[in-house]
Amino acid sequence: MKKLTQSEERRRNAALIIVKTLSEEASVVSKPLSAVNVRNIPDNAEADIRNYIRTLKSHEVYGSTSMATHSIHARRPNDLDIVVTNPRKVAYDFSNIMRRKGIKTKVVGNPEWGSYVVQVNIKGEWEDCCDVHPISDFRGKYDFYGSSKLPLKKKGISLQRASDQLLRKANAITQRKKDGSMGAPPHRELKDTIDFITTTELLLASMELKSKAQLAKAKRVKEELKVWKAHLRKLKGDKKKKAITKKKPLSATRQKKFISKAIKKPGKDVDDLIFENGKVIERKTPIAKILEAPKMVAVNPYYGISESPYSQRPVKKQRKQKKKKKATVPYSKALKQTLSFSKTVKTGRKRRKK
């Protein structure tokens, strides 16, 4: 196979940096499927189609319909793309749902791919409405970079992540053709390239916004810290001890080293970069795994330990005592006791037995 041209190599490297940086990123926009108006699904059948999708145990809505849920301004999808365990059954169920609403439909199968397309008759022309594919071929490892991401669930419907769409489109536009050149098939190259760029811009905007929010929070902490520094100046004590607070925790040189390392490692979370002996290195155990400890450990530091190190007596489990059932008194007898007690309170004397 022939080598890539200089332009193709440059585009491939650019795509690799983009997916490494944004593959774990999530959009700050999250809308339910009901907020997306699919062009070729008649309005009177949309709600029933959504309710039916919720009954499917294993499914994922993907493509432009799913991307519209992650974006404020997105192009209106023409059809609904979905993967399921039984494409044929689901396609005919979609068709029957719309037929009950008086909509003309037909199902077209593709034996090669095991997929089915539901079409509706709009103004005398058949238009693709629902594109149903097998879920078994949908998830896996990509040739270019990474593996498919698990979907997000919103109101009972599984939606493809924007980061998964990014990886799929990157895989499509960087694949090698039969002639050795790089790119998606001619009939899909324009659409896949546009989708890759718009998904990158969406995730990049989300990343930048979250970074700005973090910086704003840090700025607020700086302002609040001034209150305590002012209080420290008023306290009496050794001036040398007070001078410790004037030293910067991280010098400008160290900050540059850290940022430089983060740029060189686009696929690494910045939380997994640390200083050790003056160098910026990667954590041996990612911070995400460290934070996966059981919740009880965070609440109780002695969880799983039979005795507290500060206690002289071992912790003993108290046996649960069975609650004694209260004896039930017949209503007539209880009424007599109540009347007898009220008379005793009024006279101050006990009632004699006859």
State pLDDT tens for residues 100-136.
Answer: 999 999 999 998 889 999 999 999 999 999 999 999 9
Tokens of 215: 């910086």
Compute the C-alpha angle 26/31/35, nearest 5°: 150
The pLDDT assigned to 291 comes to 76
The pLDDT assigned to 269 comes to 87
* Contact indicator for 53, 185 with CB cutoff of 8 Å: no
Query: At residue 326, does pLDDT exceed 60?
Result: no
* Contact indicator for 115, 87 with CB cutoff of 8 Å: yes
* Contact indicator for 209, 215 with CB cutoff of 8 Å: no
Residue-by-residue DSSP string for 239-282: HHHHHGGGS-SS-HHHHHHHHHHHHH-TTS-GGGEEEETTEEEE
pTM for this model (two decimals): 0.76
The pLDDT assigned to 248 comes to 83
Quote the crossing angle between the two packed helices 186-234 and 162-173, to the nearest 10°. Answer: 130
pLDDT digits (tens, 9 = 90+) for 334-347: 545 555 544 444 44
* Contact indicator for 92, 142 with CB cutoff of 8 Å: no
CA dist., res. 33 & res. 51, Å (int): 11
Domains of the chain: 6-207 (3.30.460.60), 252-305 (no CATH)
pLDDT digits (tens, 9 = 90+) for 36-81: 999 999 999 999 999 999 999 999 999 999 999 999 988 899 999 9
pLDDT digits (tens, 9 = 90+) for 274-302: 888 889 999 888 887 777 755 544 444 44
CA dist., res. 8 & res. 349, Å (int): 108
CA dist., res. 164 & res. 151, Å (int): 8
